[in-house]
Each structure stands twice: as structure tokens, then as C-alpha cells.
Structure 1
Amino acid sequence: MKLNGKVAIITGSASGIGRGMALAMAKEGAHVAIVDVNEEKGKETLAEIRVHTEGMLFIKDITVQENITQIVEEVVKKFGKLDILVNNAHVSKQVLFNETTQEHFDLSFNTGFYPTVRFMQAAYPELKKNKGKVINFASGAGIDGQVTQTAYAAAKEAIRAITRVTANEWGPDHININLISPIALTPGVEQWKQQHAPEAYDAMVNKIPLRRLGDPENDIGKVAVFLASEDSNYITGQTILVDGGSIKLH
């Protein structure tokens, strides 16, 4: 039980990669607070978590600062501490660069970048007290410059930048801050597969050296468990590519 007795907040955890991480951490003994806007899926994931450990569910808009502060306070009130923060939630729209507007940037930064900043700031006192772990999320969209991903890529690279800064600033406080850049078979990818020709999906998979998409729990979730555990105590400020070998950083 690598995370026995630890307390985690995971944003965007009602489904997809967030759900996979929540289940992986719960099975390793962590108490998990689910943060999402999808109440139905959130309740389903909470029920799955409670098979293994204790959990909480927050159906909150994390673009609102007061909601972030409230979530952190209520988690600490219930469990007495906070050890792990996972900033996974992010919404964006795909359009070509020349069609990208201020609204596209606002959507991406307000749902991804700014909540990451605000959750980290709100959680800092508890993370410092408990030598905590922060897991932020990067994307191949930013690292590799994927077309139609201007606003999303910009926000993800901004998250990578503040992760490196805080890794330096918070290192003396024994807080580890790392990033996961994933590729996974999520409900959104499944929907895309159904909407497009199977050939397009197969072509995408065939570009991945391991020839498959990652499993949200068994692939992405287990790396998140590693980064949240004492096994990663000497790793900070790093981007961990959990993408089947799609991108190789040099």
C-alpha cells in the first residue's frame, strides 16, 4: 500500500485519466477527493473508490477561486491533512492558429492553467507541512506542437513552466512537483474513434511505438501512484512522458 493513509485531491477525476488515477491511488490506500463538474460520473467514481478507501466528491466550477479554497479547506477538515494534489482538469477547443481567438485562450487558461496555479497556492501550507507531492499535466500538444492546438498547447506549456519554477522554489520545503504527459484511451478518444473512420484511429495508434493507447488506471494511474509515493522522493521538476514512446525528450 504505497499511499496508505495519504490524502489526495484530483481534479477532473469523474472519468477518463482522472478516474484512472483516483482508482489507482485508492487501491494503494489513499483517501481521494474527486473534483469535477459531472455529478453522475462523479458519484459513480466515488462509489468505486469507497470499495477500497474513503472519498469525497466536489461538484464545483474550479474557474472560481472561492471554490478552490473551499475544496482544500473541506478536505483538510475531513481528513486532517493533504498530501497529494493532482491538477488534471482542462478544457479547450481545437482550431487552426489563424482562427484562434481570445475566447479560445480564455477557455484553455481558465480551466487548466489558472486552476493549477490556484490549487497549488491554496494547498501549499498543507503540502509543506506533509512533504507533499504535486502532479501537474503536460501534453504532447505543447511539447510536439500539434496542429489545431494553439490555446491548449500554450496553457500546457505554461503549466510546465510554473512546475519547473515551483520545483526550484518549493524544493527546500521537500515538496516534489512533476508532470505527466499522457496518451490514453479515454471516453473522449472512444467518442472520436466512433465519429471518424476506423482507419484514422488505426493510423494514430500505429504512430505509437508500443502500438496501443495507455490504460487510464493501469498505465497512467500507476505512474501517478509512483509520483505520489515515497518512491519518487528524489525526482522533481520533470516531465514524465507516459505515451508509449511517442515523444522522446532530449
Structure 2
Amino acid sequence: MNFNYQGKVAVITGSSKGIGRETAEQMVKLGAKVLLVARGEEGLKKAQAEISEFGEVSYIAIDITSEDAGEKIVNKALEEYGRLDVLVNNAGSSFAKSFEDIELSDWEQDIDLKVLAAVKISKAAIPHLKKQGGAILNLTAVMGKTPQANSLPTTVSRSAGLALTKAMSKDLGQYNIRVNAVCIGLIRSDQIEKRWQNNAPDLSWDEYSKKIGENIPLGRIGDTSEAANVITFLCSDLASYVSGTAVNIDGGSGHAW
């Protein structure tokens, strides 16, 4: 099978660490040129240094919620590599409280980061994706399909991301631009690793993963590479007839397809 990333250019937000960084490395290893996007320059420099061993990678340090972030990010990709084929809207955070405990400013910040930033960057990218077709991947969460108590505002933002994905796929299919989403469950992250070190330092990672994953059908926490594998596939030519779908990466823990 050929993923056919040779000569392609990808922009990945939230890519200084975690799933975004792992996805960037996988795409570079397959021949893509990747622009890393995040706020912190130190983390971006570290990721660039590590990934550049495998191919071409550059970065832009920017707050993606700023008004002109979309244009700046896309222009940087064009300056570096001259084209754009893939956009992965990965940046986000986990902010969850009960409805009564949330301030209006919390809603605004969450929606700005998880919905409007993706809209702005996608809007800037689409004219360039139209030239040869391409792929947009929106990262959401399993809870966006089945919101639970004390899960706001993040589940609302993630649900909006799912609706955005489906609507964009309908509008952009005529240009051979595929738009998909992945819905993340419990995946290894800095936050989870800190919890492991603070709460169960006597356990190995595998032991801790199995303990926390007792209620997950596959019985463990997922690895960042497992999420990146799916994202890399969906953005590749191997998924050339897949658009408008949302794939759960949750070990079977979700309650919706």
C-alpha cells in the first residue's frame, strides 16, 4: 500500500507535542513536508529538531485564536513549500465543568479555540487545497457524540466540530477536498502521564494503563501513535473515497458509532 505523501505539504496545529507531533513525524517519514503550529516556540523547536532527522519540517509559533492566524499559517506554509495538501486541525484543550459553574468567558474561549480557529485556518487553506484536491482532518472527542454530565463546554465545542466536518465535506467534495474527523477517547498525554506519576508512581506505565482502562473494552489507555496512525491514513490517498465521517479512537469505550 502507498500512502503517497511524497511531495505533499501538511499543516498540523497543536503539533509541538502529543498526537499532533506524532502525526507530523509519521507524515514526514512518509515523504510529506510539514509545518508545525503551536503557541510555544520552545516546544516547536524541540519537535522540529527531532522530526527533521526524517525529512523537511518547519514551524510557526502563533496563537491560533488570533484574528489573522489562518492567513499567517497558510502563508508560512506557502513561503516554505509552495503548496498545501493537508490540514489537520488538532489544537484543543480539555475543559469540563457543570453547566452552572461555567462563566460566559469560558464558553467564548473554548469555542474560539476548538471551533472558530479551525474555521479560520480552513477558510485560509481551502483556496490552495482546491488547486489539486486535498484533505482536512478535524480532531474532536468521543464525548462530542454522547455528552455526559459535567462535560461542558468542551462537549458542545466538540459536537460543533462534528457538525462542521459533515457540512464542510458536503460543500467541498466537488473540489476533491475530503473532510473527516477523529473522535479521541483516553489517549496517553502529558496530562495523563503527570497523573500517573503523581497518583501511582509505584506502577509501570502498562500497569497504570490497564488499571485506568478497566472500563475500556480493549482494557488500556491508547497510545499517541495509535491516534496518529488513523489520522495519517484518513489524510492519505489510501482514504481517497472517505469523506464526511468521524472515526472513534477510543478502544471501544464510546456509546455511539
Q: Return the TM-score normalized by structure 2.
A: 0.91
In the other structure, the counterpart of 1:85 is: 87
In the other structure, the counterpart of 1:185 is: 188
1:43 is paired with a residue whose SS is: helix
Measured against aligned partners, the alpha-carbon deviations of 1:18-49 in whole angstroms (never above 9, x if no partner) come to: 11111111111111111001222211111122
In the other structure, the counterpart of 2:235 is: 228
CA distance in 2, matches of 1:148, 1:194: 25
Q: Is the 8 A contact 1:22 1:34 kept in 2?
A: yes
CA RMSD of aligned residues (A): 1.8
Q: Is the 8 A contact 2:137 2:181 kept in 1?
A: yes
In the other structure, the counterpart of 2:252 is: 245
Bigger helix fraction: 1
Q: Is the 8 A contact 1:5 1:29 kept in 2?
A: yes
Code of the residue aligned with 2:229 in structure 1: it is: K
CA drift at 1:200? 9.1
Which of 199, 215, 223 aligns to 2:223? It is 215
In the other structure, the counterpart of 2:175 is: 173
- Structure 1 residues 50-59 or 195-204, which shifts more? 195-204
Q: Is the 8 A contact 2:178 2:242 kept in 1?
A: yes
For structure 1, the residue ranges without an aligned partner over 5 or more in a row are none
For structure 2, the residue ranges without an aligned partner over 5 or more in a row are none
CA drift at 1:73? 1.0
Code of the residue aligned with 2:191 in structure 1: it is: G
Code of the residue aligned with 1:147 in structure 2: it is: A
What is the aligned-residue identity percentage?
A: 31
1:130 is paired with a residue whose SS is: coil
In the other structure, the counterpart of 1:99 is: 101
How many residues were matched structurally?
Answer: 249
Q: Is the 8 A contact 2:36 2:44 kept in 1?
A: yes
CA distance in 2, matches of 1:10, 1:245: 26
1:76 is paired with a residue whose SS is: helix
CA distance in 2, matches of 1:127, 1:238: 19
CA drift at 1:193? 2.8
In the other structure, the counterpart of 1:6 is: 8
Q: Is the 8 A contact 2:210 2:221 kept in 1?
A: no
CA distance in 2, matches of 1:149, 1:249: 16
CA drift at 1:237? 0.7
Q: Is the 8 A contact 1:92 1:104 kept in 2?
A: no
Moved over 3 A (4+): 194-204
